[in-house]
Amino acid sequence: MWTRPSIRGSLRSEASLTRVPNPRRKAASNDSQGRHREILETAARLICERGYEATGVQDIAAACGLTKAGLYHHIRSKEHLLLEIQNYGMDVFEEQVLSQVMPIADPVERLKACMEKNIALVTHGSSKEVWIILHEHATLTGEARAQINARKKRYVRFLESSFAEAIRDGRIRPVNPKVAAFSFLGMVLWIYKWYRPDGAISGEGLAREMKDLFFGGLELPRRRETARSSQSRRA
């Protein structure tokens, strides 16, 4: 996945170090990025409430405090806005879930942390982007759909490889890694359909219950612990 930087890229990076930063330009860039993020989040909220087809560009513009022409200053088209929302949702997911769990060496602990953080993402305010990624997955067309599907497939491959590693290490019982990966996803990603933040189950409680349910039927005792237990019985 990672590529070695080219010599030309390195030279450009060194040259950039000699430039004096422009505070005004940086502030303007940050303001523009912040405004664009607000538009994405506002549009995501409206699409969650009404659905993509029932949400017009004028509705989004009004909710953002812009004219329709003003909104088009920030977006290319309604479908491209949907693509940006889904990419934004995937960015948040990769930052708050994948990047946090990939360094974990133990595959089972990695998968448990992944489930816990994924549930936290859905139950603590980011569910609208997840809802759009799941519910409007077929709305995008052509290259836009292929782009989002490629990002989702990377997550599936990460889960499959983690389950396969856990099987090789004797950490879980032998199962089909693909079945395990999609079962994991089915449990976690269906939450957006039924979970209510003001309900009887907290996000933390939900994560504990789902980890127990899922891994309780998979996880095996650690080999070292099993060997130690056998030695104690023989003694």
Within 8 A by CB and 6+ apart from 17, the residues are none
Please indicate, yes or no, if residue 155 is contained in any of the structural domains. Answer: yes
Residues 86 and 162 in one domain: yes
What CA–CA distances, in Å, run from 105 to 15, 102, 110, 165?
Answer: 38, 8, 7, 10
Q: Which residue has the tokens 């479908």?
A: 79
* Residue 224 confidence class, pLDDT cut points 50, 70, 90: very low
Q: Residue 212 and residue 93: Cα distance in Å, rounded?
A: 23
Residues 71 and 104 in one domain: no
Is the per-residue pLDDT at 32 higher than 80? no
Torsion of the alpha carbons at 168, 169, 174 and 175, rounded to the nearest 10: -70
Question: DSSP letter at 28?
Answer: H
- Name 172's bridge partners: 219
Q: What is the CATH number of the domain that holds 186?
A: 1.10.357.10
Please indicate, yes or no, if residue 232 is contained in any of the structural domains. Answer: no
- Residue 181 near residue 229 (C-beta atoms within 8 A): no
* Residue 33 confidence class, pLDDT cut points 50, 70, 90: confident
59-77 as b/e, with b when 16 or more CB fall inside 10 Å? Answer: bbbeebebeeeebeebbee
Instruction: For residue range 90-108, list pLDDT tens digits in order.
Output: 998 899 999 999 999 999 9
Q: Residue 93 and residue 201: Cα distance in Å, rounded?
A: 23
Within 8 A by CB and 6+ apart from 214, the residues are 115, 183, 184, 187
Instruction: For residue range 145-178, list pLDDT tens digits in order.
Output: 999 999 999 999 999 999 999 999 999 999 999 9
Residues 200 and 85 in one domain: yes
Instruction: For residue range 185-223, list pLDDT tens digits in order.
Output: 999 988 877 888 888 999 899 999 999 999 998 999 875
Hey, CA dihedral for 28, 34, 38, 41, is it positive or negative?
A: positive
The token pair that represents 92 in the structure block? 């948040």
Residues 66 and 156 in one domain: no
Residues 146 and 176 in one domain: yes
Q: Residue 69 and residue 34: Cα distance in Å, rounded?
A: 19
Question: DSSP letter at 92?
Answer: H
State how many domains the chain has.
Answer: 2
Residues 71 and 86 in one domain: no
What CA–CA distances, in Å, run from 86 to 138, 168, 185?
Answer: 12, 35, 18
Residues 152 and 49 in one domain: no
Q: What is the CATH number of the domain that holds 59?
A: 1.10.10.60
Which segment of 60-74, 133-147, 153-167 scores lowest on mean pLDDT?
133-147
